[in-house]
Amino acid sequence: MGMRINMKSVLLRSALIAALGGFLFGFDTAVISGAEGTLNEIFQQNYTSFSQIFGTMNFWHGFTVASALIGTIIGALVFGKPADMFGRRKMLFMLGALYFISAIGSALAFNWIFFVIMRFIGGLAVGGSSVVAPMYNAEISPAKFRGRMVALTQFNIVFGIMFAYFTNFIINSLNLGDIAWRWMFGVEAIPALAFFLLLFLNPRSPRWLISRNLIDEAREVIRDLGSDKDNVEQEIVEIKESLLVDRDSLKERFFQPKYSKPIFLAITIAAFNQLSGINAVLYYAPRVFEMAGFAQSSAMLSSVVIGFVMLVFTLIAMLIIDHFGRKKLMLYGSIGYIVSLFAIAITFFTNGENFTDLGGYVVFISLMVFIAAHGFGQGAVIWVFISEIFPNKVRARGQALGSFTHWFMAAAISWSFPVFAAISGGFIFTFYAFCMVLQLLWVLFIMPETKGIPLEELQKRWGL
């Protein structure tokens, strides 16, 4: 019994450390929300110069905010292959270093171009983390713990978002003046350095070790982490067999008619995830609250509440997703989206630029409902659903397609929000609301329920 507890503690420690990549992922994506208003003022001259060549000042401000997401798209695409060549843990070390460089570089940025480059580097780390951290945790975990160990990454992403809002609020309340935004970005260097150093405690992935024929080290790692069968040699044999299946699967063509259904489902759920406007709200939360008449300090505090609500409802959904099913969570989430987004849009249309106290409270409550709907629906379902709808042969490429679509749309939404919000807050939230009406129809008439259905059974039903 003592040995089993020890194995579980090593597994939990290793999974928690790897999941810090998810925490930094969440922190890095949300931290700019506290500084984007200041950055708009600081880089005003750059925006003016570039807008004479192409676009508007709001277009270039949107580009500044989205620069990390552009890096994320590339990071999600390029880090998978090096993780196969050099190992998952080595890539996690590199991602920790990139987070650290981005945090320090963004904080010390001496001009706009340097700042954008540093944010892009942080985006590379975010994209890489979204691929490598869950992959590492899946490979070190016995099957009976795998779901919970991989879910640690999703939990840490949301926790990182809330922590970014919290540190932004604290730094803003210290009245540091013109350098406050630098501290907001610089704070990330602390968890990035901790992540890098703690990784020395983690073993290398046993699956990767076996793929490189490092059998003795793999055997020791499996003994430390625990085995499903209490038979390490049998597990090594099964991992070898699964690696042969994976190599055969690379010969299978991905874009072909028989995979059109799961490809369509992955692209649509990932696109709808961002067409809700979730990343616009996460990145521009204080600005939205200020548009609704809140003072800057109140806007920052309201953002902390957003992070907390998202954390709570994501946790609830993760606990009940296997009981309620994916489709039901998406249904409730879609209804919550529609009600809250239309309420925000109508309030912006009726209040214009002169918000009453009542209008401000309506926007605040509606945004809380919106965030709860996201955490309960799309936020909890998207990655589970995408991982279930593809056959084994093409699952990795299917998840890569879903991830690419998600980050591409996230960049587009974050980039375009300042442009359209400058025209009308009501207009942009109406657009998101109508997109969620389309999502509701997609959930009702197209989305299949995958709860409790073996993956092989799904493949038979779809003729795969």
Q: How confident is the model at residue 243 (pLDDT cuts 50, 70, 90)?
A: confident
* Per-residue tokens: 8: 């579980």
Which of the four pLDDT bands, split at 50, 70 and 90, describes residue 229? low
**Whole-angstrom Cα distance, residue 412 to residue 308?**
26
Instruction: Return the C-alpha torsion angle 348, 353, 354, 360, nearest 10.
Output: 40
State the pLDDT at residue 263. 95
Q: Are residues 196 and 264 in the same domain?
A: no
Name the more confident of 196 and 128. Answer: 196
Position 162 in a domain: yes
Check residue 456 and give its pLDDT: 64
Domain that holds residue 143: 1-202
Residues 264 and 186 occupy one common structural domain:
no
Return the CATH number at 61.
Answer: 1.20.1250.20
Q: Which of 185, 202, 219 is the last residue of a domain?
A: 202
Both tokens assigned to 457: 């059974």
The answer as to whether 240 is a domain residue is no
Q: What is the pLDDT of residues 32-64, one digit of tens each?
A: 988 888 898 899 888 888 888 887 888 998 889
Q: CB under 8 Å to 231, separation ≥6 — which residues?
A: none
| DSSP class of 33 | G
196-221 per-position pLDDT tens digit: 999 999 999 888 888 888 888 888 88
Give the pLDDT score at 249: 65
Task: Tell whether 207 is covered by a domain.
Answer: no
Question: Per the domain annotation, does 341 fall within a domain?
Answer: yes
Give percent of the chain with pLDDT exceeding 90. 41
Using DSSP's 3-state secondary structure scheme, residue 110 falls into coil
The C-alpha angle 295, 276, 349, rounded to 5 degrees, equals: 50
- Nearest to 125, CA basis, from 112, 106, 140: 106
345 belongs to a structural domain: yes
Sign of CA dihedral 165, 171, 176, 182: negative
- Same domain membership, residue 175 and residue 260: no
**Domain end (from 166, 183, 202):** 202
The structural domain count of the chain equals 2
| pLDDT at residue 228, rounded to an integer | 62
Residue located via tokens 């926790």:
159
**Band of residue 118 on the pLDDT scale cut at 50, 70, 90:** very high
For 200-250, give the secondary structure using H, E and C: HHCCCCHHHHHHCCCHHHHHHHHHHHCCCCCCHHHHHHHHHHHHHHHHHHC
pLDDT digits (tens, 9 = 90+) for 308-364: 999 999 888 878 887 888 899 999 999 999 999 999 999 999 998 788 889 989 999
Handedness of CA 98, 102, 108, 113 (dihedral sign): positive
Judge whether residue 150 has pLDDT over 70.
Answer: no
Residues 315 and 425 grouped into a single domain: yes
Q: Max alpha carbon distance in the chain (Å)?
A: 71
- What is the per-residue pLDDT for 121? 97
Residues 328 and 454 in one domain: yes
231 lies in a domain?
A: no
- Check whether 290 has a pLDDT greater than 80: yes
51 and 114 belong to one structural domain: yes
